[in-house]
Amino acid sequence: MVLLSIGVLTLIETIATFFWVFILTTLGLYGYIRVAHRRRILARDAHKLGETLVADRGGIIMFFIPLFALPLLLTRATIDYPILEIYLALVLSVCIGAIIGLIDDFKDLKLKKALMVAGAGLPIIILKTYCPRPYIPFLGRTLMTIVYILFILILFSVFSDACNMIDIFNGVLIGQGIAILLPILILAILYNSNIGMILAAIGLGYSLGFLVWNRYPARVFHGNVGAYGYGSMISAIIILSALEIRGVEFVSVVAFLPAVFNGFLYVFNTRFAPRSKLARERKPVTYRDGYLSINPDPNAAINLTRLLLLYGKLSEKQLICLYYLLFAVASLLAMITGLLIFYHFI
């Protein structure tokens, strides 16, 4: 009944959008990986035996976002917001986040990047493609004209930084992104939201296309350009989907809890020290003979990976499976939260 209510045309548009972005991402990365190896844009995979070099900064294809988002221009919105402005808000937000990440790839921006990436939310604010009356569980719709603008900026900063911090193993960042995008897609179907379905399809198409090359054993890494661009894309999808989907901001935060928890632990212990600048003896985990284990140094930093290794050493593949399990649980909790909001239980 739900599928019938959204219409055959909308369903076809959503599926077509997914495959459009998936194919562009997959082929774009195929070409980039070849170029990266020729130009030596490579990074060592620290959790593999031997000297395994992988194409780095694959997130550069985030700059394909004007092409990825083209299906938005063909979407029939059920809201009083011009489609062109929604398209521009998504494209500009992603490009700003990716540019900041690209600069950080070449020159460490340190703490400044946390403030700078918040600016990726400015296109949404300037174009006014947001709803200043978010739905808060148990409270309902609340008017937050100024506070919601601050929320948008904080969301972009926190989500982008947390994405960068959890991008430590093959396919893990994409797994966290999918955990957010799937509930958004399901809720978009329930709310009959054309905008939400297309936005979720764009995000999922990119995610699964990137996962083709980034899954274990990875052939490409995101780089900071990809991590910040991806975090900005998810943030933009959340805010723009909220135009038609009630409470999607709260639902997305629930799905993102593993990355937020990981980031909080790391920042609290290291006082914002970049992973690359952390002294070897302070690394949360050690890698030896194909297995990851807890760093025995009492001064070692703490993150989510260290907690997952409390009961013994694991291979990278086993650890990735644990991360995926965490993401699945968070995504399920987010979906349950979304359903409770949809049926007006909270």
Residue 150 has pLDDT above 60, yes or no: yes
| Ordered alpha helix ranges (H), the chain | 2-6, 8-39, 65-68, 83-106, 112-116, 122-126, 145-166, 172-190, 194-214, 223-241, 248-255, 257-270, 304-308, 316-342
Q: 183-236 pLDDT, tens per residue?
A: 999 999 999 999 999 999 999 999 999 999 999 999 999 999 999 999 999 999
The pLDDT, as a whole number, for residue 143 is 87
Q: Span 274-300, mean pLDDT?
A: 82
**What's the DSSP call for residue 282?**
G
Are 177 and 334 a contacting pair, CB within 8 Å? Answer: no
**319's tokens:** 């650890």
Domain ranges of the chain: 2-268+319-342
- Residue 279 DSSP SS3: coil
Q: Span 85-97, mean pLDDT?
A: 97
**327's tokens:** 């993401």
Question: pLDDT exceeding 90 applies to what percent of the chain?
Answer: 82
Q: Rounding to the nearest 10 degrees, give the CA dihedral for residues 212, 60, 254, 171.
A: 30
Q: Span 253-267, mean pLDDT?
A: 94
| Residue 70 to residue 74: CA distance in whole angstroms | 8
Of 183, 159, 346, 171, nearest in space to 257 by CA: 159
Range with lowest mean pLDDT among 102-106, 137-141, 291-295, 321-325: 137-141
Rounded (10°) angle between helices 83-106 and 223-241: 160
Q: Please tell me which residue, 290 or 9, carries the higher pLDDT value.
A: 290
Q: Span 56-85, mean pLDDT?
A: 88
Residue 333 has pLDDT above 90, yes or no: yes
What residues form DSSP beta bridges with 288? 291
Residue 2 has pLDDT above 70, yes or no: no
What residues form DSSP beta bridges with 294? 285
User: Which stretch of DSSP H or E encloses residue 151?
Assistant: helix 145-166
| Residue 279's pLDDT band (cuts 50, 70, 90) | low
Q: Whats the size of the chain, residue-wise?
A: 346
Q: 292-331 pLDDT, tens per residue?
A: 999 998 888 889 999 999 989 999 999 999 999 999 999 9
The pLDDT, as a whole number, for residue 74 is 84
User: Residues near 80 by Cβ (< 8 Å), separated by ≥ 6?
Assistant: none
What residues form DSSP beta bridges with 287? 292
Residue 98 has pLDDT above 80, yes or no: yes
Q: Please tell me which residue, 78 or 25, carries the higher pLDDT value.
A: 25
Are 150 and 143 a contacting pair, CB within 8 Å? Answer: no
Residue 50 has pLDDT above 80, yes or no: yes
| Residue 132 to residue 280: CA distance in whole angstroms | 46
The pLDDT, as a whole number, for residue 291 is 95
The pLDDT, as a whole number, for residue 76 is 67
| Residue 224 to residue 1: CA distance in whole angstroms | 43
Of 326, 185, 165, 344, nearest in space to 258 by CA: 326
User: Which stretch of DSSP H or E encloses residue 254?
Assistant: helix 248-255
| Residue 159 to residue 263: CA distance in whole angstroms | 10
| Residue that the structure tokens 């060592």 belong to | 44
| Residue 77's pLDDT band (cuts 50, 70, 90) | low
By the 10 Å C-beta count (0-12 exposed, 13-18 middle, 19+ buried), 174 is classed as buried
Average of per-residue pLDDT values in the chain: 93
Query: Which one-letter amino acid corresponds to residue 12?
Result: I
**298's tokens:** 């009492």
Q: Span 135-141, mean pLDDT?
A: 91
| Residue 278's pLDDT band (cuts 50, 70, 90) | low
Q: Can you count the helices (H) and strands (E) in the chain?
A: 14, 6
**Model pTM?**
0.95
The pLDDT, as a whole number, for residue 274 is 65
What residues form DSSP beta bridges with 220? 55
Residue 275 has pLDDT above 70, yes or no: no
Q: Span 260-264, mean pLDDT?
A: 93
The pLDDT, as a whole number, for residue 270 is 75
| Residue 97 to residue 232: CA distance in whole angstroms | 6
